[in-house]
């Protein structure tokens, strides 16, 4: 395992370095600049130059990049131009909230997908599959901001049982009832498209597994369909479903931007939204780099888990008899 990770390390580092450079350059290509945002439209040329020098934006781009890279490597993320405070502090609070939201959504999506796909495949009823597939299509097709608004309308306005969103009180995670209140709507909203995609994939791979000869062997032994699906087919479908789940995690992080905006959830998504409108380079750069890092890390974890789930990969080369 350690050797495998070591082998993957160089390519991971190259990806991160390339991403950091692209992010740095691209963000400076976006029209508008932080000086205007900070100084306001009526500022004098001297005031603007002072701000520019203060932020170090008067130096060549490549120098700025090297300086920033050095800062990132020493974990000194600098100060936010606009939001005030250390970027690292902003990041810490935001990251915690976003992580809570995305992980909840991911678990929710996985649970929904597992239940929906196994129930559909085990029951194997035309009408049930038609209903499941219809729900699925709707869940994929309707954009997050629509489901979000509809859910706010339903559960916060018409039937006021949940808050329409907002910042939960500090230390909310310790109180499960408060956590559920604040987290439920955004998490469901975020989970829906992911769960639909995952359900679809898992259903298809379960069906493929059921056509495999080993399933015929199990059926001929008198093992009921339900048990074959749950203990054998699912186990075989899991490795590839995990890969899809890994990709979904990245998408969920992206989707969090919208959902956080709708429910004013104080996460990274809201932070990046504010950062981009203010051209707050230090904030945006680090956030984008972080999302790349998370994506790369997810892929790595997925591959490792994939190997752990499949004995043919796990035991490759360690035993005789396998060609």
The string over 165-176, giving b where at least 16 C-beta atoms fall within 10 Å of a residue's C-beta and e elsewhere, is: beebeeebeeee
Choose one: 72-80, 101-109, 167-175, 304-312; the region binding other proteins (CB under 8 A).
Answer: 304-312
Q: Is 6 in the site for other proteins (CB under 8 A)?
A: no
- How distant, in Å, are the alpha carbons of 29, 56, 227, 251 from that of 241? 38, 47, 19, 15
Q: Is 7 in the site for other proteins (CB under 8 A)?
A: no
Quote the distance between the C-alpha of residue 226 and its chain's center: 32
Name which of 187 and 215 has its Cβ closer to other proteins.
215
Q: Is 231 in the site for other proteins (CB under 8 A)?
A: yes
Distance (Å, whole) CA 256 – CA 243: 20
Work out which of 32, 224, 277, 308 binds other proteins, going by CB under 8 A. Answer: 224
Choose one: 19-27, 32-40, 147-155, 214-222; the region binding other proteins (CB under 8 A).
Answer: 214-222
Work out which of 235, 249, 258, 288 binds other proteins, going by CB under 8 A. Answer: 235
CB of 218 to other proteins, least distance (A): 7
Distance (Å, whole) CA 13 – CA 192: 33
171 Rama sector, left if φ>0, alpha if ψ -120 to 50, beta otherwise: left
Q: Is 236 in the site for other proteins (CB under 8 A)?
A: yes
Q: How many CA atoms lie within 13 A of 48 on its CB side?
A: 11
Integer Rg of the chain from CA? 24
Work out which of 216, 254, 277, 301 binds other proteins, going by CB under 8 A. Answer: 216
Can you tell me which residue has the tokens 């991160």?
Answer: 16
Can you tell me which residue has the tokens 């678990």?
Answer: 107
CB of 323 to other proteins, least distance (A): 7
Q: Is 223 in the site for other proteins (CB under 8 A)?
A: yes
Name which of 175 and 226 has its Cβ closer to other proteins.
226
Closest C-alpha to 80, from 313, 245, 277 = 277
Work out which of 11, 63, 88, 217 binds other proteins, going by CB under 8 A. Answer: 217
Name which of 40 and 322 has its Cβ closer to other proteins.
322
Q: Is 305 in the site for other proteins (CB under 8 A)?
A: no
Contact track, other proteins, 157-196, x by CB under 8 A: ----------------------------------------
Closest C-alpha to 245, from 206, 163, 303, 173 = 303
Work out which of 47, 225, 290, 294 binds other proteins, going by CB under 8 A. Answer: 225
- Give CB contacts under 8 A, 24+ apart, made by 166-169: 166/263, 166/264, 167/264, 167/265, 167/266
Binding region for other proteins (CB under 8 A)? 212-214, 216-225, 227, 231-232, 235-236, 309-312, 315, 317, 319-323
């Amino acid at each position: 395992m350690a050797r495998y990770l070591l082998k993957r390390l160089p390519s991971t580092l190259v990806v991160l370095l390339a991403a950091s450079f692209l992010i740095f350059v691209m963000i400076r290509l976006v029209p508008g600049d932080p000086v205007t945002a900070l100084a306001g439209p009526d500022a004098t040329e001297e005031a603007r130059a002072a701000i520019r020098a203060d932020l170090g934006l008067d130096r060549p781009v490549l120098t700025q990049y090297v300086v920033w890279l050095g800062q990132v490597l020493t974990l000194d993320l600098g100060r936010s131009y606009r939001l005030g405070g250390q970027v690292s502090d902003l990041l810490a609070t935001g990251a915690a909230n976003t992580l809570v939201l995305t992980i909840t959504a991911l678990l929710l999506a996985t649970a929904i997908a597992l239940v929906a796909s196994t129930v559909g495949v085990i029951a194997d009823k035309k009408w049930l599959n038609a209903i499941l597939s219809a729900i699925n299509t709707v869940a994929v097709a309707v954009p997050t901001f629509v489901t979000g608004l509809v859910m706010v309308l339903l559960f916060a306005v018409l039937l006021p049982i949940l808050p329409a969103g907002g910042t939960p009180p500090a230390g909310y995670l310790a109180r499960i009832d408060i956590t559920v209140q604040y987290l439920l709507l955004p998490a469901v909203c975020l989970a829906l498209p992911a769960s639909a995609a995952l359900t679809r994939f898992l259903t298809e791979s379960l069906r493929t597994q059921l056509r495999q000869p080993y399933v015929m062997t199990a059926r001929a032994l008198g093992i009921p369909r339900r048990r074959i699906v749950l203990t054998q087919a699912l186990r075989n479908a899991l490795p590839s479903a995990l890969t899809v789940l890994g990709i979904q995690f990245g998408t969920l992080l992206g989707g969090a931007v919208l959902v956080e905006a709708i429910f004013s959830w104080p996460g990274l998504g809201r932070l990046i939204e504010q950062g981009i409108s203010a051209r707050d380079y230090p904030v945006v750069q680090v956030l984008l780099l972080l999302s790349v890092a998370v994506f790369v890390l997810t892929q790595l974890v997925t591959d490792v888990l994939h190997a752990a789930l499949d004995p043919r990969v796990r035991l490759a080369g360690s035993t005789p008899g396998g060609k």
